[in-house]
Amino acid sequence: MGKLLRFEFRKLFRQPSLYICLAVTAVLVFLSVYAIYSMEQLVMQDFSSVGSLSPSELAMLAGITNASGRGQLLKALTSDNVTMILGIFTALYVCSDYTGKTAKNIIGRGYTRAGWLTAKMTGAACACLLFSAAAMGTAYAAGTLFWEAGSVRSSDILLLLVQLLVMLGYTATFVFWSVLLRSSGGAIALNIIIPLILGLLLLVLDYLIFDDNGTLSNYWLAHGMSLASDGAESGDLWHAGLLGAAYSAVFGALSFLVVSKRDV
Q: What is the pLDDT of residues 175-185, one digit of tens each?
A: 999 999 999 99
What's the pLDDT at 54?
A: 58
Tell me which residue range forms the domain holding 12.
2-261
Question: How many residues are there in the chain?
Answer: 264
pLDDT, average across residues 21-40 = 91
Q: What pLDDT sits at residue 103?
A: 84
Give the least confident one: 78-82, 167-171, 177-181.
78-82
Res 168: pLDDT: 97
End-to-end CA distance of the chain: 19
Averaged pLDDT for residues 235-244: 91
* pLDDT score recorded for residue 131: 97
What percent of the chain has a predicted confidence (pLDDT) above 90? 52
Q: pLDDT tens, 110-158?
A: 888 999 999 999 999 999 999 999 999 999 999 999 988 888 888 889 9
The reported pLDDT for the residue numbered 204 is 80
User: What is the count of structural domains for the chain?
Assistant: 1
- For 49-76, write each residue's pLDDT tens digit: 455 555 555 555 544 567 789 999 999 9
Amino acid at 182: R
Mean pLDDT of the chain: 86
Residue 38 pLDDT greater than 90, yes or no: no
pTM summary value: 0.89
Dihedral of the alpha carbons of 156, 161, 164, 168, in degrees to the nearest 10: -160
List the one residue out of 176, 146, 160, 175 whose CA is nearest residue 241. Answer: 160
Please say if the pLDDT value at position 243 is more than 80: yes
How does residue 104 score in pLDDT terms, banded at 50, 70 and 90? confident
